[in-house]
Structure 1
Amino acid sequence: MHAFTMIRGSLMLAAALLLCPPAHAQLFRAYLAVNGNDANPCTLPAPCRLLPAALNAVADGGEIWMLDSANYNTATVTITKSVTILAVPGVQGSVVATGGNAITIATAGVKVALRGLVIVPLPGAAGVRGIEMTNGERLTLQDCLVSGMPSDGIRVAGAVRVRMTDTTVRDSSLSGLILEDGAMAAISRSSFLGNGFMGVWAVGNTAGTTTQADISDSMVTGNGLGGVRAQSNSATASVNVAVRDSSLVQNYPQGGAAVSSGGPATLSIANSLVSGNVEGVIASGTGARAWLSGNIVSGNSTGFWNYGSGAVLESAGDNAMRNNGTDTTGTIGTVTKK
């Protein structure tokens, strides 16, 4: 009898375990929808509503799909794992800065991709930046809009690689995109429009860092303190910015600027339109270098201006200078193509 009781108890325990619902395994692909619920498992049949729930449900390296045009956060979205967040074609998935940044990334090694997102501030709230990344391996933006941020549109600091394509950053109170202290960006087919400070600002503040940006097929227009700026604020902080096949138009005061307090700050511009700025391209300060080839430079108050103090501004001799108030000011060197 005793043995029978033990066997019966074991069978009942096994049955109970079989009937217990399993814990949700993390998903490779999580889903968000306007009619979702964060108590759901974030699957396609039972989507979640907000990004934090989907980030908890998705595995490292997974994807989050936004199925409807809607806002998908109520507070700063903090990303601590590698993930791709995308809106399906035809949908505008938005992330709103309600207090602080809309999206914050500060975890070593993460690779984050954002596709088809609209990032804006909530009117009257204490929003700051659209995206701020201060640690991690890579940030990819494709077909995104960052608009009207009370601070910078996007700030990336540290040894992070940035890939940006078909993205617009506009009407930020400060800079559209600021790259600091080791960030490296490849930007193509993107626009930086009407930002209060610089459109794209690559700056080295920390000794021993190298900050780089390559900008191609892009538009930098109507920014309040300059279009594209390479700036070194430390004797051993290097900044290198290359612009090609792009438009630097109607920025105040400069379309492009290399500015240095002693460290190397290099700005190269090739095959681009530099027009309607107060100063088309300048170089200022020891360590500042501007190299120019094949550009149309027209309608600026001054086309090229070497401010001196050790700066170098050189032309390949093939820039088309027309209808500027003054074509050149200061020492403009000429280098031959090799």
Structure 2
Amino acid sequence: MLRSSLVVFALLVSLAAASASASQRAYVSAISGDDANIATGCVVTAPCRWFTGAISAVDPGGELVVLDSGAYGTVTITKSISIISAPGVYAGISVFSGDGITIATPGIHVVLRGLNINRIGGSGNGINMTAGNSLVVQNCVITNFSVGSGLLVSSDSLVRVLDSLLRGNNFGARFWAGKSVLVSGSRLLENAMHGISFEASGSPIGAVISRSEASGNGSVGFYAQASIGWQVRLNVKDSVATRNGSGVFVHSGAGTILASVSNSLMSENTNYGLGAQSEGAKLVASGNKVTHNGTGLAQTYDSVLQSTGDNTVSDNTTAFTGTITTINKM
């Protein structure tokens, strides 16, 4: 009887300790934080110092809140969590090697809000997602990943990039997979290769880009490619692509591309404003202004480029190449 009572007591103590060490919300502070406070749950009056320590104090589905400006270190996320920094608070992740944020656990849901992720050294990525159910990147700045990508996704996930800046990376954002991708209100600036690249090679990709800007990227502002047996569905609307190698360019690598571009501006791009290449690639243009590019609309190598007849194509070095098919606007 005594032994049973001791076992029950030990179990209750263990559960109480577990309850104390994990909670719905934990806090980090660059001013007063100390990771010794993990033991008491990183509460607001006794916050932790680094993301990687504080995350252990949060229950799955909980929040990690940044209290004041500072650097909070790289982190690997293994549970559903929201990492949140309020407007006016600089929540920095300085990356000296590897990736800034790693997401590699199946089934989890991650929200990143108000973070500044900056490469100092190494050859990694700002955010690298190889597994997980969903990711929201909101009001974040991801810069200087000149060897890797600001955001790299290779999992069949739901991804939202909202009101964020990806600048000075090799690729601004690169998707090798992604069952549902939305990029809205975001800027993809001065990346060495593509502003954003959808390259279906292991699963189909469905993507919408809205109210976003791709500017000053070395190759293509908005790019799509599909390997054999795979498909990319891309819808670009109400967006701007300027001063890139090409504005929007879709290329079938023996897969299928179904793309549409509507109510957008393609301007000052060195090569194409809108371009499609290779059999299996189809691009429909509607209501766009295409001006001051090397070539306004370009159809090459058995691709399909269709126009609804209401695009303004003017003042390009060459207005059209290939066959542009006019279709009725639905």
Q: TM-score of the superposition, structure 1-length normalised? A: 0.89
Give 3-state SS (helix, strand or coil) of 1:100's partner: coil
- Indicate the structure (1 or 2) with the bigger Cα radius of gyration: 1
User: Is 1:303 equivalent to 2:296 in the alignment?
Assistant: yes
For 1:115, the aligned partner's letter is: R
Measured after TM superposition, the shift of residue 273 of structure 1 is: 0.3
- Unmatched 5+ stretches in structure 2: none
Structure 1 unmatched ranges of 5 or more: 1-5
Counterpart position of 1:158: 155
Deviant stretches of 4+, over 2 Å: 21-25, 181-184
Matches within 5 A, 1:126-205: 126-150=122-146, 151-172=148-169, 174-205=170-201
Q: Which moved more, 1:321-330 or 1:261-270?
A: 261-270
RMSD over equivalenced CA pairs, Å? 1.7
Paired residue total: 313
Q: 3-state SS of the aligned residue for 1:230?
A: strand
Is 1:264 aligned to residue 256 of structure 2?
yes
Question: Residue 327 in 1 paired to residue 319 in 2?
Answer: yes
Deviation at 1:205, TM superposition (A): 1.4
- Give the SS at the match of 1:304: strand
Percent pairwise identity: 38
Partner of 2:55, secondary structure, is helix
* SS, match of residue 55 in structure 1: helix
Are residues 301 and 53 of structure 1, via their aligned partners in 2, closer, same or farther at CA, if it must alter by over 3 Å? same
Q: Is the 8 A contact 2:159 2:178 kept in 1?
A: no
**For residues 255 and 100 of structure 2, what CA distance do their matches in structure 1 show?**
33
Quote the Cα distance in structure 2 between the aligned partners of 1:106 and 1:238: 24
Equivalent residue number for residue 70 of structure 1: 70
Shift of 1:77: 1.0
1:87-141 Cα distance to aligned partner (Å, 9 max, x none): 123101011222100000010111000001000012xx32510000011010001
1:210 aligns with 2:210: no
The whole-number CA distance in structure 2 between the counterparts of 1:327 and 1:301 is: 8
Q: Is the partner of 2:224 in helix, strand or coil?
A: strand
Counterpart-to-counterpart distance in 2, 1:261 and 1:246: 25
Aligned residues of 1:257 and 1:267 also touching (Cα < 8 A): no
Partner of 1:61: 61
Aligned to 1:228, which of 222, 235, 259?
A: 222
TM-fit CA distance, 1:165: 1.1
Distance apart, 1:183 and its partner CA? 4.1
Preserved CA contact (<8 Å) 1:290 1:312: yes
CA drift at 1:25: 3.3
Deviations 1:263-296 (A, max 9, x none): 1112210000000012111111110111100000
Contact 2:82 2:111 in 1 (8 A): yes
**For residue 321 of structure 1, what is the amino acid of its counterpart?**
V
Q: TM-score, normalised by structure 2?
A: 0.91
Q: Distance in 2 between matches of 1:82 and 1:299?
A: 46
Which AA in structure 1 matches 2:25? R
CA distance in 1, matches of 2:17, 2:75: 28
